[in-house]
Amino acid sequence: MAEKEDLVEIVGSEGVSDAPEILAEYSKDKSFVPPIEPRCVVKPKTTEEVQRIIKWANDTLTPLIPVSSGSPRFRGDTVPTAGGAAVLDLSGMKKILWIDRRNRVAMIEPGVTFGELRPEVEKEGLRLLMPLLPRRSKSVLASALEREPIIMPRYHWDIGDPMLCTEVVFGTGDLFRTGAAAGPGTLEEQRKSGQAQKNPAGPSQASLHRVIQGSQGTMGCVTWITLKTQLLPKLQKPFLVGSHRLDSLTELSHWLIRLRIADECLMLNNSNLAAIMAKKWPEEYRRLRDNLPSWILFFCQAGYEYFPEERLAYEEEYMSDIAQRIGVSPVEVLSGVSAYELLAILQAPSEEPYWKLRHKGSCHDIFFLTGRDRLPELIEVMHNLASRYSYPVADMGIYIQPVVQGTSWHCEFNLFFDPDDLKEVETVRTLSVDAVNALMTEGAFFSRPYGPWADIAYRRDGETTAALRKVKGIFDPNNIMNPGKLCF
């Protein structure tokens, strides 16, 4: 195979594989996207190799499917979209290029996982802006590109956070840097003058990170990003608030964010919190789920370098006043769940097995953005649909995350299912398609339309789809990057 020899010449023989078991692994994931076997898997180690592979793909018109995270993968975004594709597996690009405490920035390659990055930034007195319990093998860069919500809305200033600047090889093979990283000056010159590739906007009037983020390898391939981090707190005081009324908890969250008196701040339903906390399955999961109130708000207040005790004291005083006004009671232990234990869990990637797989072996997520006032009715839409499909509503996990300073709310339904039970698989598959349609009709905004959701979203907005196609035509004129997709 002439192509394989070309690729071996670029990355070496150990970097190219067409072994059947490897190809089978990359042909599918845990989503309902139909499997397509790739032709080969190629693992570059450097930006130069990525550039050469993309040029090769242009010359041979070979579809390229970029992948950064390790398995298990869930959303169908790394399943080949066309036959004869080469999977461009970036998980071997594992360099943590730079960590700068002064500017709270880390620069990382695509293969760096949360498990690998966290201890390194902590050595510098920093912490990551984590999404909710990512799996250990999840690429930090991919998570940021996917705009996975972070659990600290207080530090979420822009929907693009925590991603800052990027280096990208477009589908044309051209190397480009976005934001402050584009210049003036080289990266080294910028650093010497105290800059840290922290401003994502630009170069000039073009904020191309907006095109790259969310397009997930359909416009080009990102070879590093700079990432916003935060200081490690000196003191932390976490709280749990239980309620059967979601609006009481969203009201409290609103004030915690508005007054900037909480770092971590998220809501889970009883099923999800039980799934995260249970160690003995299924007894402890069931006991927790049945004992916990319907909704649980978790938040954490923190003190930093200066006056940490004083800061915690006034934040707690403000928080208590608001909680009292709303009629809820923040506590350290709720129905046997310790806020401190949950805090420790949330500050790291998920333990193995991944938390969403512990209950039934697989999980399908449906998530969207909405406003605070719309949450109850959209949850009701999902509950009604689940009941209609005889999916046990009590088993369904729900995760609600205020994002961008609480201006929008990420709402996520986790449908746990047994992958070996064909009836259950079919129920979840059909339920999820119907749910996305129904939720979209009710105004849910699917800002990250994975797999079949993309078609549903594009059908509703022909003009945006046409514009996206034009953009893709500019950056990937031969349509080699994830052909058939415009994003995700």
Partner 1 sequence: MALEDFERSMARCVRCSLCKFPPLEQVKSWRFANVCPSITRYNFHAYSGGGRLLIGLALLQGRLDYTDEMTEIIYRCQMCGACDISCKYNRDMEVLEPQYELRARLVNDGQLLPAHMPVIESLRKEDNMLQRLKVDRGKWAEGLDVKDITKETAEVVFHAGCRLSFDEDLWKVARGTVSLLKKAGVDVGIVGSEEACCGGRAYEMGYQGELIKYAEHNIDTWRAAGARIVITSCSDCYAAFKILYDKIGLKPNPQVLHITEYLERLIAEGKLRLTKEVPMTVTYHDPCHLGRKAEPYIHWQGVEKKAYGQLILHDPIKEFRRGTFGVYEPPRNVLKSIPGLRLVEMERIKEYAWCCGAGGGVKEAYPDFATWTALERIAEAKTTGASALVTACPWCEKNFNDAISESGDRIEVYDVVELVQQACGGA
CA distance 443 to 431: 18
The distance of closest approach from Cβ of residue 405 to partner 1 in the complex, given in angstroms and rounded to an integer, is 8
Hey, what are 343's tokens? 């805090």
Closer to partner 1 by Cβ: residue 55 or 254: 254
Closer to partner 1 by Cβ: residue 121 or 326: 326
The distance of closest approach from Cβ of residue 129 to partner 1 in the complex, given in angstroms and rounded to an integer, is 20
The distance of closest approach from Cβ of residue 406 to partner 1 in the complex, given in angstroms and rounded to an integer, is 6
Hey, what are 279's tokens? 């160690």
Closer to partner 1 by Cβ: residue 373 or 420: 373
The distance of closest approach from Cβ of residue 13 to partner 1 in the complex, given in angstroms and rounded to an integer, is 54
CB 410 within 8 A of CB 367: yes
Strand bridging mode 105-108 / 96-100? antiparallel
The distance of closest approach from Cβ of residue 385 to partner 1 in the complex, given in angstroms and rounded to an integer, is 24
Please identify which residue in the block is written with the tokens 């869930």. Answer: 74
Closer to partner 1 by Cβ: residue 235 or 259: 259
Closer to partner 1 by Cβ: residue 352 or 373: 373
Closer to partner 1 by Cβ: residue 102 or 280: 102
Closer to partner 1 by Cβ: residue 342 or 375: 375
The distance of closest approach from Cβ of residue 403 to partner 1 in the complex, given in angstroms and rounded to an integer, is 11
Closer to partner 1 by Cβ: residue 35 or 371: 371
DSSP 8-class letter at 348:
S
Closer to partner 1 by Cβ: residue 372 or 410: 372
Which residues are bridge partners to 88 per DSSP? 42, 66
- Alpha-carbon distance values, 477 to 84, 172, 480 (Å): 19, 7, 8
Q: What is the DSSP string of 248-274?
A: HHHHHHHHHHHTT--SSEEEEEHHHHH
Three-state secondary structure call for residue 476: coil
The distance of closest approach from Cβ of residue 407 to partner 1 in the complex, given in angstroms and rounded to an integer, is 4
Closer to partner 1 by Cβ: residue 34 or 371: 371
Closer to partner 1 by Cβ: residue 251 or 424: 251
CB 85 within 8 A of CB 36: yes
The distance of closest approach from Cβ of residue 148 to partner 1 in the complex, given in angstroms and rounded to an integer, is 21
DSSP 8-class letter at 12:
-
CA distance 381 to 379: 5
CA distance 223 to 161: 18
Peptide bond preceding 419: is omega within 30 degrees of 0, i.e. cis? no
The distance of closest approach from Cβ of residue 272 to partner 1 in the complex, given in angstroms and rounded to an integer, is 24
Contact residues toward partner 1 (CB under 8 A) are: 254, 258, 371-373, 405-407
Please identify which residue in the block is written with the tokens 């299912």. Answer: 417
**Torsion angle defined by CA atoms of residues 161, 166, 169 and 175, in that order, rounded to the nearest 10 degrees:** 150
Three-state secondary structure call for residue 400: strand
- Alpha-carbon distance values, 431 to 187, 240, 273, 311, 375 (Å): 49, 32, 23, 47, 19
Which secondary-structure segment (H or E) carries 5?
Answer: helix 2-11
The distance of closest approach from Cβ of residue 475 to partner 1 in the complex, given in angstroms and rounded to an integer, is 30
Q: What is the DSSP string of 191-234?
A: HHTT--S---S-STT--THHHHTTTTTSSEEEEEEEEEEEEPPS
CB 341 within 8 A of CB 399: no
Closer to partner 1 by Cβ: residue 111 or 406: 406
The distance of closest approach from Cβ of residue 157 to partner 1 in the complex, given in angstroms and rounded to an integer, is 12
CA distance 369 to 412: 9
Strand bridging mode 337-338 / 333-334? antiparallel
The distance of closest approach from Cβ of residue 317 to partner 1 in the complex, given in angstroms and rounded to an integer, is 12
